[in-house]
């Protein structure tokens, strides 16, 4: 038996640095692209530069003759014309769901869609040959604008569907019996002089997940099982869906997600490239590798958000909200992504947020366009919902002449009212909005900043101050399987775990959650160390390989801790129960008299005891154990939550707007989040920081733009403007703790909190800074130009907006004109 | 990302480099710091047959006092320029503008000569060289010639450097005792300038005796705002006087329109930023 360190105080709550960081930060680890089995053939996808066109011919001859090329294949060459990518979240039985082929067959439906693949001895040769594939196109009308796309007589993305409307999904609280009829509420408010009706349209711009590691897949068909390595956040989903789609027995495919460099929902997919690698590897009998460039990632990996939100809120003049109507147009792009239509629908249950809203209706129209498909992106549906409700609460406050924070307070669920069943029928188990808000207000110096704002307005300062408020809650921890089933989702929401006590007392924990940067290995080790009373260092977390972790539903929707972590707890409880039996046997005591504490099984009232490591050794040798059990402590658990968890928080932003230039400066940001109990405060804070940066980026920086032809103009990180640390202030973050009552750890989830809450806080702050100049809306991202123009418009100064040439020199990559790249480049 | 195939040459002297360039013909590209060329190669926006790397010629990196001028080797990295005592003392505006270029990694790799020869109108250093009346020393088969900044910048990405020629040195007159400021406006901290203004002033007894103003990204080349300069001379640097002078900032400009800024907004920025740059320079 090896020696083990003494377990010290509880690991839970300890701000440990992450055990995975040494290998990640030094680059010592292996990502998918670092894996190259002997004999690997490299795949490059030839992509359409045109959004919508008939393919009239593809001349492969020059490419086929290029050095090192094994073959150039279209869908027809691969016999893959009948294969459609999986889409697992149909909203209704009437959904119009165009089948997405692995490669465009006769028609391309978005710029970036693959039309052929080149296979070569090296990635460079594949890339060179791809330039030699000559495709001819007959352009068709691009379909870019959602409102035009749903109008009668619109150009159609898929003429066989006879419409661009994929589906209309409605949740009506009145019809569901969970609340009042919103049409009645609006009619009543309109007729009532003591009520107001506020209508606003908000736009959720298109975003790109922009994970750090580009997508990559390696498929090795040379063994008995096909082995697929992929930079995915969903190896289990990928395995099931790949085999179901391609007709391979599930037992014949092993999927490995090695260390994965971020996902943010962008790797919650089953991609054409992954399936193409399988198909081609089988055809050639050789390992096949595909790794995308950043430009390919921006162009062809699924995008996020992209909604038009028409929101109507009704309220009594005393501030009591009486109804909320939500109508969405959600851009699905050219095809329905794996979970694409489910994303806006996840928001359906969150527009009512933390408020007591008696009447509610949600109508979502999913629209097909000739753009890159949209799918999961950090927060998925909930940021959109939070943005809309928090923006319109500010608008309502202005309408009523109320302080926006006071108005929120008047309408939110008070802490005495939990558990509270909302207008959509969800039961919030716990929360304390007063506590989080009070702490945020104090840390922010809300009153002091309001005074400063007043002073600057009075002085007509060039730089005006705005205060942005956002409160939020989210349904986290996806999810109860029955609920997902009722929403039409094709799978469940449980998670699996196994705990293996090794002979030497070390512990292997297998989880079906598939971390890709979150810090699971550290947080899960802390939980297990406490549960089993073993040192943190003695716990090994195994995941991300379907051979090691055969059962799981992966990582997204802030579910890893809340569902996967609880599965681990349940498995450790079984280990302890088994160990207790063996301990009683060894100590010749009755099981009822055995106490377990900090890794020691002791006979109550005596000094006699056995460490869990000794029990593990006894179970391993099998020399002496109770007759009614097997000689093993190993245990499995599958945990299916009964409810979501509901983290919440209050975020406050102090925003300075330079009214001369329109420049927005985020001066100070305070957030107080209630994420339940916290396993590792350092990791939780990191998640909040990253989430804030991502949410602030939507408010101020990021936008995927298409030109009139349907070409994405953000082809590099020069044009797709991600903020860096230099663009963001030092955040003030804090937590308060109202433990979740829905799980034994009291945890709620933190992965999406910052992203969900921060976007409306920023935009509310920008508008608050310049509302006195007459501005009431600035579209996201609130760039300096947009803010300046909004001020000019509000002041009645017409601006002469010159046509924008998105390809003009000065517009992009070192001001390179892609159409004329000549010039002295040094 | 994988560039097209090219041959790579790393000459040890300027003469060798010129020879290599002449030999390679018009399909050659010169590699200085690579901060513009490499992205362009990787995106296959350029596919030269030969890349001539000037990184093996140490004398191109020196910065020296050349009497009434500071002579900066074309291959001096931005990082060296902005920390150089001679530059800080005599050409402070160049040091200030250089410190705003991209991020520290780029500034360690990228070079003054490379940036100027690339002649991107959104680049920060062209406006400085133009406003400060720098001279450009260009080597070719028949020796060297000197070109003024006014003649150097011809068009988008186009300079007076001819075929078979290499920029070897940039000489800045000494502006000892002048005050200066570079006012930059961009979308994110490390992005290219949407618009920027380079300003240097000689103030004598509270009055602006001389002014040099250059504009970044307001046309196909860097632009000298002579109207502003003339309006400033003889004025005291009060907010009103400066603002009135800054109204001349858009004279002779041809502002581009792109997704970040349409021309009218850029013109507005040019006026506002000129005022701010001059006031900041005046202290």
Which of A535-549, A556-570, A786-800 is least confident?
Answer: A786-800
Nearest-10 Cα torsion for A225, A227, A228, A232 = 100
Q: Per-residue pLDDT for A217 more than 70?
A: yes
Check whether residue A599 and residue A694 sit in a common domain. no
Residues B252-281 have a mean pLDDT of 96
- The model's confidence at residue A805, banded by pLDDT at 50, 70 and 90, is low
Q: How far apart are CA A467 and CA A667, in angstroms?
A: 10
Q: Which of A663, A789, A825 sits opposite B40 (nearest CB)?
A: A825
Residues of A in contact with B187 (CB under 8 A): 701, 721, 783-784
- Answer whether A572's CB lies under 8 Å from A526's CB: no
* Per-residue confidence band for A798, with pLDDT thresholds at 50, 70 and 90: confident
Beta strands in A110-256 (DSSP E): 114-120, 134-139, 165-172, 195-207, 216-220, 226-230, 253-256
DSSP letter for each residue of A439-476: HHHHHHTHHHHHHHHHHHHHHT-SEEEEEEEEEEE--B
Binned at pLDDT 50, 70 and 90, residue A799 comes out as confident
Residue A577 in any domain: the answer is yes
Does the pTM surpass 0.90? The reply is: yes
- Give me the mean pLDDT over the A117-133 stretch: 97
Query: Do residues A635 and A666 both lie within one domain?
Result: no
Contact B265 A799 (CB under 8 A): yes
Secondary structure (DSSP) of chain B: --PPP-EEE--SSHHHHHHHHHHHGGGEEEESS-TTHHHHHHTTS---SEEEEGGG-GGGG-EEE-SSEEEEETT-BHHHHHH-HHHHHH-HHHHHHHTTSS-HHHHHH-BHHHHHHHT-TTSSHHHHHHHTT-EEEEEETTEEEEEEHHHHEEETTEES--TT-EEEEEEEE--TT-EEEEEEEESSTTSPEEEEEEEEEEEETTEEEEEEEEEESSSSS-EE-HHHHHHHTT-B--HHHHHHHHGGGGTT------SS--HHHHHHHHHHHHHHHHHHHH-
A588 and A535 in a single domain? The answer is yes
Say if residue A521 is in the same domain as residue A461: no
Closest by CA to A539, choosing from A520, A513, A514, is A520
| pLDDT (tens digit per residue) in A740-776 | 999 999 999 999 999 999 999 999 999 999 999 999 9
State whether A716 and B39 contact (CB < 8 Å).
yes
Q: What is the mean pLDDT of residues B70-99?
A: 98
A78 and A219 both lie in a single domain: yes
Q: How confident is the model at residue A1 (pLDDT cuts 50, 70, 90)?
A: very low
A744 CB-near residues (< 8 Å, 6+ apart)? A566, A569
**One domain, residues A591 and A670:** no
Which chain B residue's Cα is nearest to A723? B188
Residue A580 contacts residue A591 (beta carbons within 8 Å): yes
Residue of A nearest to B1 (CA): A293
Q: Can you give the pLDDT at residue A801?
A: 61
What is the C-alpha separation between A68 and A126, in angstroms, rounded? 8
pLDDT band at A374 (very low <50, low <70, confident <90, very high): very high
Among A36-40, A577-581, B40-44, B97-101, whose mean pLDDT is lowest? B40-44
In a domain, A739, yes or no: yes
Render pLDDT for A400-444 as a digit per residue (tens, 0 to 9). Answer: 999 999 999 999 999 999 999 999 999 999 999 999 999 999 999
All domains of chain B, ordered by start, with CATH? 7-56 (3.30.43.10), 58-173 (3.30.465.10), 179-282 (3.30.390.50)
Buried b (16+ CB within 10 A) or exposed e, A260-287: bbbbbbbbbbbbbbbbbbbbbbbbbebb
Query: Can you state the angle between helices A753-770 and A681-700, rounded to 10 degrees?
Result: 40
pLDDT at B259: 85
The residue whose two tokens read 């509420």 is A185
Give the nearest partner residue to B258 out of A804, A813, A822, using CB atoms.
Answer: A804
Spell out which residues of chain B touch residue A817, defining contact as CB-CB under 8 Å: 156
Residues A95 and A242 in one domain: yes
Percent of chain A at pLDDT exceeding 70: 96
Hey, which residues 138-197 in chain B have their CB within 8 Å of chain A?
156-159, 161, 167, 185, 187-192, 194
Quick: pLDDT tens for B143-179. Answer: 999 999 999 999 999 999 999 999 999 999 999 999 9
B70: tokens are: 């500071």
Extract the tokens encoding B41. Answer: 């190669």
Whether chain A has a CB inside 8 Å of the CB on B2: the answer is yes
Here the CATH number for the domain that contains residue A234 is 3.90.1170.50
In this prediction, residue A485 carries a pLDDT of 92
Which of the listed residues A582, A610, A639 is the one where a domain comes to its end? A639
Q: How far is CA A715 from the centre of its chain?
A: 22
Contact: A721, B188; criterion CB under 8 Å: yes
Cα torsion through B93, B98, B102, B104, rounded to 10: -130
Q: Does A800 touch chain B (CB under 8 A)?
A: yes
> Residue A5 above 70 pLDDT?
no
pLDDT in tens, A239-283: 999 999 999 999 999 999 999 999 999 999 999 999 999 999 999
Is A223 in the same domain as A105?
yes
pLDDT digits (tens, 9 = 90+) for A443-462: 999 999 999 999 999 999 99
State yes or no: cis peptide before A399, omega within 30 of 0.
no
Same structural domain, A453 and A508: no
In a domain, A621, yes or no: yes
pLDDT reported for residue A806: 54
The pLDDT of residue A820: 37
CB contacts, 8 Å: B192 with chain A? 718, 810, 814-815
Q: Give a three-class secondary structure readout of A69-104.
A: EEEEECCCCCCCCCCECCCCCCCCCCCCCCCCECCC
Phi and psi angles of residue B8, each rounded to the nearest 5 degrees, phi first: -125, 130
A128, A815, A825 member nearest B121 (Cβ): A815
Cα separation of B61 and B53, whole Å? 13
For chain A, positions 21-80, list CB contacts with chain B under 8 A.
none
Going by pLDDT thresholds of 50, 70 and 90, the confidence category of residue A816 is very low
- The set of residues, in sequence order, having a beta carbon less than 8 Å from that of A129 and lying 6+ positions away, is A44, A63, A64, A66, A68, A69, A72, A118, A120
Whether residue A533 is contained in a domain is answered as: yes
Shortest Cα–Cα distance, A727 to chain B (Å): 6
Q: A718: domain CATH number? A: 3.30.365.10
- Asked if residue A166 belongs to a domain, the reply is no
Measured between CA atoms, how close is A818 to chain B, in angstroms?
6
Highest-pLDDT range among A316-330, A706-720, B35-49: A316-330
A771 and A750 fall within a common domain: yes
Residue in chain A closest to B30 (alpha carbons) equals A826
Residues of chain B with pLDDT > 90: what percent?
97
- What percent of chain A has a predicted confidence (pLDDT) above 90? 93
pLDDT in tens, A661-701: 999 999 999 999 999 999 999 999 999 999 999 999 999 99
Residue A330 within a domain: no
Q: What is the pLDDT of residue A478?
A: 85
| A747 and A789 fall within a common domain | yes
Rounded distance between C-alpha atoms, residue A12 and residue A568, angstroms: 14
DSSP annotation string for A300-321? HS-BEEEEEEEEEEEEETTS-E
Query: Cβ-count burial of B1 within 10 angstroms (0-12 exposed, 13-18 middle, 19+ buried)?
Result: middle
The per-residue pLDDT for A479 is: 85
Residue A399 lies in a domain: no
With the C-alpha atoms ordered A811, A816, A819, A823, is the resulting torsion angle positive or negative? positive
Residue A782 has pLDDT above 60, yes or no: yes
| Distance separating alpha carbons of residues A569 and A58, to the nearest angstrom | 56
Question: Are B159 and A824 within 8 A, CB to CB?
Answer: yes
Q: What is the CA radius of gyration of chain A?
A: 28
Which stretch of A189-193, A514-518, B231-235 has the lowest confidence by average pLDDT?
A: A514-518
Residue A505 in contact with residue A551, Cβ under 8 Å?
Answer: no
Cα distance between residue B70 and residue B91, in whole Å: 8
A783 and A653 co-located in one domain: yes
State the residue range of the domain holding A515.
21-28+494-639
* Two tokens, residue A596: 């377990």
Number of domains chain A is built from: 3
| H, E, C per residue of A563-601 | HHHHHHHHHHHHHHHHHHHHHHHHHCCCHHHEEEECCEE
**Residue A335, in any domain of the structure:** no
Strand partners, B155: B158
Residue A374 in 3-state DSSP?
A: strand
Mean pLDDT of chain A: 95
């Amino acid at each position: 038996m090896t020696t083990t360190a003494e377990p010290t105080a509880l690991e839970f709550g300890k701000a440990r640095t992450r055990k995975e960081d040494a290998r990640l930060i030094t680059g010592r680890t292996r990502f998918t692209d670092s894996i190259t089995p002997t004999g690997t053939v490299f795949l490059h996808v030839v992509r359409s530069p045109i959004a919508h066109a008939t393919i009239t011919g593809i001349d492969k001859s020059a490419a086929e003759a290029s050095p090192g090329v094994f073959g150039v294949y279209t869908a027809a060459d691969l016999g893959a014309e009948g294969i459609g990518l999986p889409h697992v979240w149909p909203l209704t039985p009437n959904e119009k769901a165009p089948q997405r082929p692995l490669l465009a067959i006769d028609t391309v439906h978005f710029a970036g869609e693959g039309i052929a693949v080149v296979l070569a001895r090296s990635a460079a040769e594949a890339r060179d040959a791809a330039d030699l594939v000559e495709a001819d196109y007959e352009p068709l009308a691009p379909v870019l604008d959602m409102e035009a796309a749903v109008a009668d007589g619109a150009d159609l993305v898929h003429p066989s569907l006879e419409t661009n409307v994929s589906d209309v999904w409605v949740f009506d609280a009145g019809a569901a019996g969970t609340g009042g009829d919103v049409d009645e509420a609006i009619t009543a408010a309109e007729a009532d002089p003591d009520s107001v009706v506020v209508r606003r349209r908000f736009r959720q711009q298109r975003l790109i997940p922009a994970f750090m590691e580009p997508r990559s897949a390696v498929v090795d068909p040379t063994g008995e099982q096909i082995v697929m390595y992929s930079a995915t956040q969903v190896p289990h989903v990928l395995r099931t869906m790949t085999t179901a789609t391609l007709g391979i027995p599930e037992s014949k495919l092993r999927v490995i997600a090695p260390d994965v460099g971020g996902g943010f929902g962008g790797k919650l997919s089953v991609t054409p490239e992954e399936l193409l690698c399988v198909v081609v590897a089988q055809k050639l009998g050789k390992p096949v590798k595909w790794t995308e460039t950043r430009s390919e990632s921006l162009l062809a990996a699924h995008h996020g958000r992209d909604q038009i939100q028409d929101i109507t809120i009704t309220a009594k003049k005393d501030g009591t909200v009486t109804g909320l109507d939500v109508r969405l147009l959600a851009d699905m792009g050219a095809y329905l992504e794996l979970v694409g239509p489910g994303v806006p629908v996840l928001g359906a249950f969150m527009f009512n947020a933390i408020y007591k809203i008696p009447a509610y209706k949600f109508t979502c129209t999913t629209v097909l366009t000739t753009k890159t498909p949209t799918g999961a992106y950090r927060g998925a549906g909930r940021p959109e919902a939070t943005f809309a409700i928090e923006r319109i609460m500010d608008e309502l406050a202005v309408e009523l002449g109320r302080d926006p924070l006071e108005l929120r307070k008047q309408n939110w669920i008070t802490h005495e009212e939990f558990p509270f069943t909302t207008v959509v029928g969800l039961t919030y188990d716990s929360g304390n909005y007063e506590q989080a808000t009070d702490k945020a207000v104090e840390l922010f110096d809300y009153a002091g900043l309001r005074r400063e704002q007043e002073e600057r307005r009075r002085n007509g300062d060039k730089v005006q101050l705005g205060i942005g408020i956002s409160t939020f809650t989210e349904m986290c921890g996806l999810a109860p399987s029955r609920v997902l089933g009722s929403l039409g989702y094709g799978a469940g929401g449980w998670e699996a775990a196994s705990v293996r006590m090794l002979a030497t007392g070390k512990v292997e924990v297998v989880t079906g959650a598939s971390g890709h940067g979150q810090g699971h290995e550290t947080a899960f080790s802390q939980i297990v160390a406490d549960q089993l009373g073993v040192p943190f260092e003695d716990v090994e977390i195994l995941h991300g390989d379907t051979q090691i972790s055969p059962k799981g539903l992966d990582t997204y929707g802030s579910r890893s801790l809340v569902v996967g972590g609880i599965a681990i707890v349940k498995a450790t409880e079984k280990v302890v129960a088994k160990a207790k039996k063996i301990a009683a046997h060894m100590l010749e005591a009755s099981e009822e008299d055995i106490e377990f504490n900090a890794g020691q099984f002791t006979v109550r009232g005596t000094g006699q005891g056995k460490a869990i490591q000794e029990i593990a050794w006894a179970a391993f040798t099998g020399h002496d154990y109770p007759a009614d059990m097997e000689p093993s402590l190993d245990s499995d658990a599958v945990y299916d939550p009964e409810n979501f968890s509901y983290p919440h928080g209050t975020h406050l932003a102090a925003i300075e707007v330079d009214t001369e230039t329109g420049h927005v400066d985020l001066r100070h940001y305070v957030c107080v989040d209630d994420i339940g109990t916290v396993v590792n405060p350092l990791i939780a804070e990191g998640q909040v920081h990253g989430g804030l940066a991502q949410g602030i980026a939507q408010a101020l920086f990021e936008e995927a733009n298409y030109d009139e032809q349907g070409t994405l103009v953000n082809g590099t990180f020069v044009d797709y403007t991600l903020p860096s640390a230099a663009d963001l202030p030092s955040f003030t973050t804090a937590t308060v703790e109202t433990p979740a009552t829905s799980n034994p750890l009291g945890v709620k989830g933190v992965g999406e909190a910052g992203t969900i809450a921060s976007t409306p806080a920023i935009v509310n702050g920008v508008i608050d800074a310049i509302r006195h100049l007459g501005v009431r809306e600035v579209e996201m991202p609130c760039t300096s130009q947009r803010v300046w123009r909004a001020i000019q418009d509000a002041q009645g100064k017409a601006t002469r907006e010159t046509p924008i040439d998105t390809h003009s020199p000065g517009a992009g990559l070192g001001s390179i004109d892609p159409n004329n790249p000549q010039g002295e480049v040094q | 990302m994988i560039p097209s195939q090219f041959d790579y040459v790393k000459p040890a002297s300027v003469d060798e480099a010129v020879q290599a360039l002449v030999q390679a013909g018009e399909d050659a590209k010169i590699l200085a710091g690579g901060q513009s060329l490499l992205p362009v190669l990787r995106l296959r926006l350029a596919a030269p047959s030969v890349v001539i790397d000037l990184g093996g010629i140490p004398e191109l990196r020196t910065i020296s006092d050349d009497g009434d001028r500071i002579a900066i080797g074309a291959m001096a990295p931005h990082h060296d320029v902005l920390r150089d005592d001679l530059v800080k003392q005599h050409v402070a505006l160049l040091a200030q503008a250089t410190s705003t270029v991209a991020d520290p990694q780029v500034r360690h790799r990228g070079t003054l000569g490379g940036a100027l020869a690339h002649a991107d109108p959104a680049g920060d250093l062209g406006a400085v060289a133009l406003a400060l009346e720098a001279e450009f020393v260009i080597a070719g088969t028949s020796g060297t010639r000197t070109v003024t900044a006014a003649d150097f910048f011809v068009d988008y990405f186009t300079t007076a450097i001819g075929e078979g020629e290499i920029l070897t040195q940039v000489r800045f007159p000494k502006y000892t005792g002048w005050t200066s400021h570079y006012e930059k406006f961009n979308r994110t901290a490390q992005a290219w300038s949407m618009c920027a203004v380079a300003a240097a002033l000689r103030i004598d007894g509270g009055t602006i005796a001389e002014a040099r103003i250059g504009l970044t990204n307001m046309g196909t080349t860097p632009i000298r705002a002579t109207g502003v300069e003339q309006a400033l001379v003889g004025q005291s640097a009060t907010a009103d006087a400066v603002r009135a002078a800054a109204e001349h900032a858009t004279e002779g400009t041809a502002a581009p329109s792109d997704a970040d800024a349409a021309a009218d907004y850029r013109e507005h920025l040019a006026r506002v930023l000129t005022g701010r740059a001059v006031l900041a320079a005046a202290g």
